[in-house]
Structure formats: structure tokens, C-alpha cells
Structure 1
Amino acid sequence: MTVQSGADVRFDKVQKSYDGETLVVKEFTLDIEKGEFLTMLGPSGSGKTTCLMMLAGFEPATSGEIFLNNEPINNVPPHKRGIGMVFQNYALFPHMTVAENLAFPLQVRGMGKAEQEDKIKRALEMVELPGFGSRRPAQLSGGQQQRVAVARALVFEPQLVLMDEPLGALDKQLREQMQYEIKHIHENLGVTVVYVTHDQSEALTMSDRVAVFNDGVIQQLSTPDALYEAPESSFVAQFIGENNKLHGKVEAINGKTCDVRLADGTLLKAEKVNVGAVGTGTTLSLRPERVEFDDAEGMDNVVTGKIKEMIYLGDHIRIRMNVAGNDEFIVKVRNRGQKRDLSVGQSVQVGWATSDCKALDLFT
């Protein structure tokens, strides 16, 4: 099975309202490149699934235009858009065998029986289920059913595949395995994939780019590493991975850095991302794994914290501390197999580099 090139997709100032008053998607503009794996990520109600449903044709746009390969598709019915779709609940026909489920989209397209059999055979091999064609969905595990759903979306070789929370019903280990398998299928076929999830680890693992949604608007559109390393707001920093938030006022601005005074009087140095003038408030963002525990002395920022809780997680120890009046300050310490003389209630120094501490939000 080969797809020569994926489709390109464009949303142009698309808006969506279900009640004629409240916009759930606001002035949405986005270009998705051919062969790209783009994930729409965000909390429930953020607008990501609505955008996917409009692209699929299951929901009409209130205003704006959607383009597929530079052709407007707002008035094209779903079955004529040539888009593969994978749902969270698999949506397999229970009374049909696996082969019959895969044959259905081929029959709709008027494909001959011999060609159907060839495409079904190749699709089952692609998802590593050869020989499963005669089984019914009830005879398959959840992971096998999801593989069949993926195969059905790809069997007619679409240029674009939409996936709506496709791994949400699977257990953690199987979900992680399927993430890699779907990514490898995408890489091998060159099909364009638009993927919706609220699971940030899925988004980071699978995507070429991630669009982070909140309140019907893209908050940031970046590669996975840029989202994590260079968030543009505290919402993105908080939604992508674990993050420490510290609030304070800008005391000085020095080129690309700034000094921020916290409520308890602690003065910290941070990278200036989005701050106002001296005297305005800001939110500092700091990843727990960037906090130094053993070699704090000599770091740009050094503070004393009190250990409130320690949790052993195998590859690291998650330590919750009180730092600068914040009882929820998290430090992740790598497990190097060394015995650590740490205990709850102990006061210790922690430190971090200016470049790892981002001043993200402006407020007065």
C-alpha cells in the first residue's frame, strides 16, 4: 500500500457556533502541509474536535472556508471528500467480518472484487493482522479492533486521514505501542494525518507539529520540542508536561532577561518571553527536571526549599517542596542508583539557570 503524497488542508477564518451566539471556534486559520502529522491538542471544550468534524464534513462551518488541495469543500458532502476517519469507539460493523469491514469503503467506491481482496490483504499486513479477515470485531481485543479501524481508514488509500481520540479506550501500555505504530504507518505511507487528542504525551510522541487549543483559539502552533522548551504562555507551559508556576512583579529588564520579585521577596532571574514594563506582574514557568538538587550552588537562581513529599517513580524521584511560599513546587531528581539522605521536613537548596525560567504572562 502506497500513498504518493498526502493532501494539503487550509482553514481560512473559520468560525463555528452551535447556538448562533457563542463561538466555539473563533477566526480559525491554519495551513496543514502535504504528508504532515498535525495534532490538535487541548482540554475538553477547546474546539479541537469541532475543527476535525468540520474538516470531515460532519459539521458545517458557520463562516469561513475550508480547502482540501486548494479546492473549497464547505459544500462537499462527507462521502465525497475522500477522507479516511478513525474514531475512539472504532465504529466497526459488528455483524461483518474484518474483511467485510475493510471492503465496505472499497465497495462504496465501486471497486472490483479482485482489487478489493488485494487492498484488504495489504491493509491487514500493514497493521500486522494477516489472517484475521474472517473474524468478527467481538472476537478481537481492543487493540486489534483499533488496528482494524486504522486499516479501514487507509484501505482506499486516501490522501488525508482524520483521527479523533483513537487510542482513548486502550490501556496505557497498548496505547503507547499504538502511538509508535500509527506514526510508523504515517511515515511509510506519506499520508496527511490530522489527529485530535487531549493527551499531551501522544501529541509529543507522534506529531510533526502540534496546535494547542483553548477557548476556540490556537494558543501556540509549534513542533513538539519547541512547545515544551519554548512555550509562549503559561497555559501552554502548564498543558504540555509538568510545570512550576511562580507569580511576581518585574523589577528590572536587561535585554532578553528580566528580574522578577516574588511576593515573599525572593528575587529571580528569568528569560523574557512576554512581560510588560517594570512594575507589571508576570508568571514564571520552570520545568521540574531543570531544577538542580545536587549542584545548586553557583546557579543563576538559588533558593532554599523545604521537602513536603517524596515519591519514588523508578527512573526518577518526584519531590514536592515549599519554595518561595509555593507548596506545590516540584523537583524531579534522576535515579542514579545512589542512596540519598533526604527526608520530609528537610530544608535544602535548589537552583536553576536563567534560560530555564521563562517569564510568560503579562498582567497588571
Structure 2
Amino acid sequence: MPDTTPKDGFVIFDRVQKSYDGETLVVKDLNLSMPKGEFLTMLGPSGSGKTTCLMMLAGFETATHGEILLDGKPINNIPPHKRGIGMVFQNYALFPHMTVAENLSFPLEVRGMGKSEREEKIKRALDMVQMGAFGNRRPAQLSGGQQQRIALARALVFQPELVLMDEPLGALDKQLREHMQFEITRLAHELGITTVYVTHDQTEALTMSDRVAVFDDGRIQQLAPPDVLYEEPQNSFVAQFIGENNTLEGTVVEMKGTDRCVVKLTDGELIDAKPVNVSKPGEKTRVSIRPERVEFNKDRLQPGAHTLKAEVLEFIYMGDIFRTRLRVAGNDDFVVKTRNAPDQVRLTPGQQIQIGWLPGDCRALDA
């Protein structure tokens, strides 16, 4: 496979591999290039290789093969404290015996900075995370959200060009987590900091990132902006891992050019789909359709929509939306999401209905 990694990125992984036992590769031939100022999220299930990549970039793990470059310079043999990278961890990693100001002063002292310059930078970093009045407190006197703000301020205090974040919001409650997602993204863009963020939370990845790298089995399965990742998944793993997704099993029976194929579902029904991982008749496939792309209000069905019979299993009111679970072509977990509107049809379990979607919203992926 030709090497397609751009050589002018700010952060570059060039054919990087990592093995802990000399046999099993945790990271397999990783090629990745990030421009300066990008907010990139590494997303994936436990054991997919995302945290290992972050730790190799930080210098806490060594690549078994390949090269990591920062601003054009190879950093494989540079120790962590000399890479000039800010780090934020899930457990905050604050020194409990130091005040907030002393915690922030530490990375500046290590860099040999004078007292007045240190004080100025500490004040600015604390103001940045709205914690200006907390300099004399110790970590134990702060809430989880406040400690996370201090950890963020400490990562930013020496004005690094690159900040790495490993599940930094995992310990916070939902409302605070959403607020901090906004704060971190705002700060990163305002300060022009290149950010690599690791999470297994898809919502976090979609709302915060310029691009998302979806990891599975030590490889990047897809690297794309959030909307492309959601609307145009390149394989079944990405379709299932990002957001909610409906799948129907079938076999390709006809190719209609490059952008349309006919799939025979397990119950014998024929549907049109966009061929993504299929190229010829006879191939097994999983057809993927997002829940919000399916419609069962007859008057809202668009011209050219494909229709199928369905049985209602559950109709759940969720405030802003209704979530309907259906039996479609032998699949009992087919979900439709419709917004709560005055003309929305209310359904009852056991009801037989017609559902429809546009062929372009239906993707034929790998089986």
C-alpha cells in the first residue's frame, strides 16, 4: 500500500507500530497527519489502540516501529518533559500537598521561569478557566469540576503548542461534562492550540472535534470530520459505533452503476442502496440506515422513497423526540426517531405500518 501520509503536518505518525510482547500489535501501521491548530479526537472501544497512540505521542510509551514527528522533528528519543506538550488526565493528577497556584507554578519552575513571569502566567491561566479566585486553595477543597479546570489550566499555563487529553471528562456528571466540552473546545480554538483528545464517548467526539479518528483493532477505521463520519460511514464498524444505526442483512443481486445497487433482504424484499463496501452481485452485505432518516408519516414521505412493511413493537415519548422500535425484515431492533411535532402520528404496539426512506440514505456496507 503506498504511503499517503502528508509530510508537512504539525503532528505526524509515520508507519507507527506498537507491541508490548514482541508478537501482538496493539497499534498497526499507523499513518496520521495533523495540521497546526486542529482538534482531533481518537475514538474507539477499550483496547482499540487510541490511548497507546496518545501515550507514544506524550513519550510515556515507545513506538516499536516507525516515527513520530512534532513540527517536523522526530521525537521518538526525546523524553516526555522535553517535548513541551501539555497533558490533561481523567484523574486530574494534581499534587494534593500544593495549592492551586503552586500546582500551576510547577511546570513553569521546571522551565526555569522567573517569579514575576510565573505569577503573570498563573493569573492568566486561572482567569482563562474562570478559577481566578481559587489560587490559594488545595485540590481537596475543590469539586471534581473545579479540579478538572485546574488540571486544564496547568496544561495550558506554559503555552504549549500541543495539548493531549486522555478521557478528561470521564469522572464528571452529564451536565458539567457538556459544559466542559464547550469550554475546552472554545479555549483550544481561541488559543490556536493543537489538541489530541482521547475518548470512548461518541457524543463527545462528534460535538468537540474538527476531525475524528475511529480506532478498532489497532487501526484507524475512518478519519473524517464528525458530519462525514456520521452521514457517510465507510464500514459496518464505524456505522455501528458512531451514533444509533439500523442494519438489515442481505445479498447484492444487481449493481446499477457505481452509486446504486439492489439488495435482497433475508425476508426476500428487494431494496435499493448506495454501494460502499460491495462491488458485485452475490456479495453478502449489511445495509445501514440512520433512525432519523426513516419516515412513517405518509404525507412526509418524499418522492422516490423506498417503502417497507413494519410492525410497531414500542412507541416511546422522549420529550423532544419519539423513539419507535419496529420489526422490519426480521429485525426486531429497527429504530425510528421522529421529532415531537403537532402532526406527528402516534403509534401503538402491534400496529402494522409502512415506513420509507430515500435510497441515498441507505448504505450497503461489509457483512
- Range class of TM-score, shorter chain: over 0.9
C-alpha spacing 1:107/1:315, structure 2 compared with 1 (3 Å): same
Q: Is the 8 A contact 2:246 2:334 kept in 1?
A: yes
| Structure 1 SS opposite 2:243 | coil
Which of the numbers 222, 233, 236 marks the counterpart of 1:220? Answer: 222
Are positions 1:259 and 2:262 aligned together? yes
* Cα drift, residue 104 of structure 1: 0.6
Are positions 1:139 and 2:144 aligned together? no
Unaligned runs of 5+ in 2: 1-8
**TM-score under structure 1 length normalisation:** 0.96
Are positions 1:12 and 2:14 aligned together? yes
* Cα drift, residue 337 of structure 1: 4.1
Q: Is the 8 A contact 2:302 2:358 kept in 1?
A: no
Q: Which moved more, 1:188-197 or 1:269-278?
A: 269-278
Aligned residue for 2:166?
164
* Cα drift, residue 111 of structure 1: 0.5
Q: Residue type matched to 1:111 in 2? A: M
Q: Distance in 2 between matches of 1:247 and 1:263?
A: 6
Which of the numbers 269, 294, 313 marks the counterpart of 1:291? Answer: 294
Q: Is the 8 A contact 1:41 1:199 kept in 2?
A: yes
Q: Is the 8 A contact 2:210 2:225 kept in 1?
A: yes
Are positions 1:314 and 2:319 aligned together? yes
* Cα drift, residue 139 of structure 1: 1.1
The number of residues matched between the two structures is: 356
Are positions 1:79 and 2:81 aligned together? yes
Q: Counterparts in 2 of 1:177-196, with a 5 A limit?
A: 177-196=179-198
C-alpha spacing 1:180/1:265, structure 2 compared with 1 (3 Å): same
Q: Deviations over 1:61-94 (max 9, x none)?
A: 1111100111111000000000000000000111
C-alpha spacing 1:266/1:126, structure 2 compared with 1 (3 Å): same
Q: Distance in 2 between matches of 1:302 and 1:205?
A: 32
Give the RMSD, CA atoms, in angstroms: 1.2
Are positions 1:330 and 2:335 aligned together? yes
Q: Is the 8 A contact 2:213 2:221 kept in 1?
A: yes
Q: Counterparts in 2 of 1:20-169, with a 5 A limit?
A: 20-169=22-171
* Cα drift, residue 276 of structure 1: 2.9
Q: Distance in 2 between matches of 1:341 and 1:280?
A: 38
Q: Distance in 2 between matches of 1:181 and 1:282?
A: 42
Q: Residue type matched to 1:72 in 2? A: P
Aligned residue for 2:281?
278
Q: Distance in 1 between matches of 2:280 and 2:45?
A: 32
Q: Residue type matched to 2:352 in 1? A: S
Q: Is the 8 A contact 2:313 2:350 kept in 1?
A: yes
Which of the numbers 327, 333, 357 marks the counterpart of 1:352? Answer: 357
C-alpha spacing 1:29/1:297, structure 2 compared with 1 (3 Å): closer
Q: Distance in 1 between matches of 2:294 and 2:48?
A: 31
Q: Is the 8 A contact 2:297 2:344 kept in 1?
A: no
Q: Deviations over 1:215-240 (max 9, x none)?
A: 00000000111001111001101111
Q: Distance in 2 between matches of 1:163 and 1:280?
A: 41
| Structure 2 SS opposite 1:131 | helix
* Cα drift, residue 168 of structure 1: 0.4
* Cα drift, residue 340 of structure 1: 3.8
Q: Distance in 1 between matches of 2:304 and 2:249?
A: 20
Q: Is the 8 A contact 1:293 1:333 kept in 2?
A: no
Q: Residue type matched to 2:113 in 1? A: M
Q: Deviations over 1:270-313 (max 9, x none)?
A: 11112031111111110000001103485431011111112211
| Structure 2 SS opposite 1:43 | coil
Q: Distance in 2 between matches of 1:43 and 1:281?
A: 26
Q: Is the 8 A contact 1:299 1:351 kept in 2?
A: no
| Structure 2 SS opposite 1:249 | strand
Unaligned runs of 5+ in 1: 1-6
Aligned residue for 1:4?
none
| Structure 1 SS opposite 2:32 | strand
Q: Is the 8 A contact 1:8 1:70 kept in 2?
A: yes
| Structure 1 SS opposite 2:249 | strand
